[in-house]
């Protein structure tokens, strides 16, 4: 977990599979087979790209047992199949599943979303993630503190299983525009002291973003560190003092939308959250661009609506 993260989005994986289409068509696979659950999205992408039927295997890591888990029958002996998994890891999942299919007389090739330095098996098709921690969209919760703790307990045999994915969802929220109204920027330019005093006197919104505040791990604000004392006082006064407060360091990130968004994106990733609620639509787009697997929600306090945001850099038409 100390390696730099290589985030792989659904779109990137889809484009990668599409780039393999000529090679996969030439293989004339009878079926694409996904190992549940991480291999299932890739097997479906392959199926859409080259038209193969899709089926699934279920693997039990504790017993190392493999089971056919599909309404479709297993292809006849001699058929060529493509087995799909999210990563060729250091464990036995992929190799045991390959052996299972070969023991049924099938010719097997392998496709994984990533291969890294610890991979036990070298797949026929894979994204090279050596030196990185490949993170897939269906496991964005892997960087939360609770997920890591549970994983270590399961690995040590101290817990029977992981919780459901959604139970690991953890939030960070913006402050101004989320918990309390924004003071117009012009007020700060006109009279800074008066604007800060006005902000300190504001009451929280009656309606907050539709999330369980118990799931909010931290508040990440664009306010500078110099405002920490008065910001903490406001939070304590209105019942939010239990939340971790992360503020902007001006020497690292300036107060521009780009600087504030970079601060919030990096803080959210360091904090191991899965969702971030932002009040400014431009900053929401910039945060989503910088942290592609973070669920970024633009919250409009006036209409009390949230919009899930996604963004990729565009370099113009070629």
In which band, very low, low, confident or very high, does the pLDDT at 120 lie, cut at 50, 70 and 90?
confident
In which band, very low, low, confident or very high, does the pLDDT at 209 lie, cut at 50, 70 and 90?
confident
HSE-up (13 A, CA, CB side) for residue 9:
14
Q: How far is 12 from 249, CA to CA, in rounded Å? A: 33
pLDDT at 91 over 90: no
Domains in the chain and their CATH numbers? 5-135 (3.40.50.2020), 169-309 (3.40.50)
Decide which of 142 and 87 is more confident: 87
pTM of the model: 0.81
Count helices and strands in the chain by DSSP H and E runs: 10, 14
DSSP assignment letter at 135: E
User: How many other CB atoms sit within 10 Å of the CB of residue 301?
Assistant: 18
Contacts 24+ apart (CB under 8 A), 11-15: 11/312, 13/41, 13/42, 13/45, 13/113, 13/136, 14/45
- CA dist 152 to 4, 30, 72, 162, 168, Å? 20, 39, 36, 10, 15
Average of per-residue pLDDT across 118-136: 90
Q: Peptide bond preceding 226: is omega within 30 degrees of 0, i.e. cis?
A: no
Q: Return the SS3 of 253.
A: coil
What's the pLDDT at 76?
97
pLDDT at 151 over 80: no
What's the pLDDT at 274?
92
| H/E segment holding residue 49 | helix 40-50
In which band, very low, low, confident or very high, does the pLDDT at 261 lie, cut at 50, 70 and 90?
very high
Q: What percent of the chain has pLDDT over 70?
A: 98
> Which residues are bridge partners to 135 per DSSP?
7
Residue among 253, 244, 200, 239 at smallest CA distance from 219: 244
């Amino acid at each position: 977990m100390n390696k730099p993260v290589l985030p792989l989005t659904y779109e990137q994986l889809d484009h990668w599979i599409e780039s393999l289409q000529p090679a996969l068509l030439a293989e004339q696979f009878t079926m694409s087979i996904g190992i549940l659950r991480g291999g299932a999205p890739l097997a479906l992408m392959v199926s859409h790209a080259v038209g193969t039927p899709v089926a699934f295997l279920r693997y039990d890591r504790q017993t190392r047992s493999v089971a056919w888990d599909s309404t479709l029958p297993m292809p006849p002996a001699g058929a060529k199949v493509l087995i799909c998994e999210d990563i060729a890891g250091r464990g036995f999942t992929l190799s045991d599943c390959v052996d299972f299919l070969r023991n049924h007389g099938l010719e097997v090739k392998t496709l994984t979303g990533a291969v890294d330095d610890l991979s036990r098996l070298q797949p026929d098709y894979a994204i090279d993630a050596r030196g990185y921690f490949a993170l897939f969209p269906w496991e964005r919760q892997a960087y939360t503190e609770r997920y890591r703790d549970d994983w270590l307990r399961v690995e040590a045999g101290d817990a029977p299983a992981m919780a459901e994915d959604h139970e690991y969802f953890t939030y960070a929220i913006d402050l101004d525009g989320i918990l309390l109204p924004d003071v117009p920027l012009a007020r700060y330019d006109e009279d800074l002291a008066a604007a800060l005093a006005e902000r300190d006197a504001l009451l929280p919104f009656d309606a907050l973003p539709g999330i369980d505040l118990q799931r909010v791990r931290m508040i990440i604000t664009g306010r500078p560190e110099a405002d920490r004392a008065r910001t903490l006082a406001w939070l304590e006064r209105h019942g939010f003092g239990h939340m971790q407060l992360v503020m902007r360091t001006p020497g690292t990130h300036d107060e521009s939308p780009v600087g504030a968004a970079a601060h919030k994106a990096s803080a959210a990733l360091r904090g191991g959250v899965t969702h971030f609620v932002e009040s400014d639509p431009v900053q929401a787009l910039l945060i989503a661009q910088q942290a592609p697997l973070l669920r970024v929600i633009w919250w409009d306090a006036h209409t009390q609506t949230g919009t899930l945001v996604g963004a990729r850099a565009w370099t113009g038409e070629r």
